[in-house]
Amino acid sequence: MLVGHRTWIFENKPAIISTGTVGGPFEANGNIPNDFDLLHDDMWLKQSSFEKAQQTMMEEACQIAVKNSSIEKEQVQFFISGDLINQITPTSFAAKTLGSAYFGLFSACATSMESLALSAFLVNGNGADYVLSGSASHNAAVEKQFRYPTEYGGQKPPTSQWTVTGAGCALVGKAGNGPKITSATIGKVVDMGMTDPFNMGGAMAPAAVDTIETHLRERNVDPSFYDLIITGDLGHIGREVSLDLFKERNIDIPLSKYKDCGLTIYREGQPVLAGASGSACSAVVVYGHFLNMLKENKLKRILVVATGSLHSTLSVQQKDPIPCIAHAVSIESGSDEP
């Protein structure tokens, strides 16, 4: 059911039947290592390139999600995913290995919730029984494409963020004991004229605020409806910008209820500057850490707002402003209460 212009209500409440989360060595030393299904001690994953290592992580996350469920791989009808690399090749190559029908997406770091929203939409409308949804990124692959190879050792400003090496995948089905997907608000592109590719948090914050404000209005709820509102990867800079924008719009979100995946995944002292980013950031933190909290009944209802910067290396070189987007999905622990 469509509410307003941008919000879907999933009356059948598709279930997140199982998940798979994979990380690298930097993530293994982070703040939530116990929330990963698999952690690697080598950035290369025994592959010949970082892009192939990213592909491998996506394949592993999908395999783990299926293994953690009661279904067979052949029962998965669709795979919906994407990443940050040109032409999303790591994801497309992973889709070839998986063998399911495939929707390739690009919403940058917002891809995790875009794919989850579309998966829930398919399942809720009887368009599929089982859908795999996820995203992945690799620090060295993304640095090489968007900035400089890590071997170059280029100094970064304090506003920049650290790309997560990892992959997160959710298996969505019509029924199951896992958390339920209850609604989604699809973001629109917001461009505030920012041109600094080293300040993604500041660029993405207005898109996150726009989507959260729209979601609350179209669902006719206030922030207290959720135990947590979780942004994807605003980091320290974007979080502060978003709080200022909420204040301007008279939206009261208590700091204790406002979390960011980019500020959750790493521990204090890791050299991540303004925080974490990458299309795997929200995927691994939500499908690992926050879904575990839902399953353990530490949380009942969350709103996840994955944030993405839609620039490219070419658009930055041509001095274009940076358009951004945020997609929101509400997830509940499985209670029958509205």
Quote the tokens at residue 195. Answer: 């041109």
DSSP string, 184-197: EE----B------T
Residues 190 and 278 occupy one common structural domain? yes
- Give the residue from 204, 164, 187, 206 showing the smallest Cα distance to 54: 164
Quote the tokens at residue 29. Answer: 């030393």
Q: Are strands 228-231 and 258-260 parallel, antiparallel or unpaired?
A: parallel
Question: Which of 173, 199, 215 is the last residue in one of the domains?
Answer: 173
Q: What is the pLDDT along the chain (338 residues), one digit of tens a residue?
A: 899 999 999 999 999 999 999 999 999 999 999 999 999 999 999 999 999 999 999 999 999 999 999 999 999 999 999 999 999 999 999 999 999 999 999 999 999 999 999 999 999 999 999 999 999 999 999 988 887 777 777 788 899 999 999 999 999 999 888 999 999 999 999 999 999 988 999 999 999 999 999 999 999 999 999 999 999 999 999 999 999 999 999 999 999 999 999 999 999 999 999 999 999 999 999 999 999 999 999 999 999 999 999 999 889 889 999 999 999 999 999 754 43
Residues 150 and 214 occupy one common structural domain? no
Residues 217 and 159 occupy one common structural domain? no
Question: Which structural domain range is residue 36 located in?
Answer: 2-173
Question: Which of 129, 144, 173 is the last residue in one of the domains?
Answer: 173
Sign, CA torsion 47/53/58/60: positive
Q: Report the chain's mean pLDDT, rounded to a whole number.
A: 95
Please report the pLDDT score of residue 288 as a whole number: 98
Residues 243 and 111 occupy one common structural domain? no
Cα distance between residue 24 and residue 4, in whole Å: 41
Please report whether residue 149 resides in a domain. yes
Residues 194 and 143 occupy one common structural domain? no
Please report whether residue 337 resides in a domain. no
pTM exceeds cut of 0.85: yes
Residues 77 and 217 occupy one common structural domain? no
Residues 209 and 249 occupy one common structural domain? yes
Q: Any idea what the CATH number is for the domain that residue 317 is in?
A: 3.40.47.40
Residues 243 and 127 occupy one common structural domain? no
Residues 14 and 118 occupy one common structural domain? yes
Amino acid 170 reads: A
DSSP string, 209-266: HHHHHHHHHHHT--GGGSSEEEESS-HHHHHHHHHHHHHHTT----GGGEEEGGGTSS
Give rounded-to-5 percent helix, strand, coil for the chain: 40, 25, 35
Amino acid 267 reads: R
Backbone angles phi, psi at 31, to 5 degrees: -90, -20
Residues 93 and 207 occupy one common structural domain? no
Q: How many domains does the chain have?
A: 2
CB distance 158 to 61 below 8 Å: no
Quote the tokens at residue 274. Answer: 């303004």
Please report the pLDDT score of residue 144 as a whole number: 86
pLDDT tens digits, one per residue of 294-308: 999 999 999 999 999
- Give the residue from 285, 82, 326, 64 showing the smallest Cα distance to 171: 64
Q: Which residues have C-beta within 8 Å of that of residue 275, sequence separation ≥ 6?
A: 161, 162, 201, 233, 234, 235, 236, 260, 262, 263, 266
Please report whether residue 107 resides in a domain. yes
Name the CA dihedral angle for 184, 238, 135, 105, rounded to a multiple of 10 degrees.
70
Residues 126 and 233 occupy one common structural domain? no
Please report the pLDDT score of residue 44 as a whole number: 97
Residues 152 and 195 occupy one common structural domain? no
Question: Which of 123, 138, 173 is the last residue in one of the domains?
Answer: 173
CB distance 80 to 132 below 8 Å: yes
pLDDT tens digits, one per residue of 40-73: 999 999 999 999 999 999 999 999 999 999 999 9
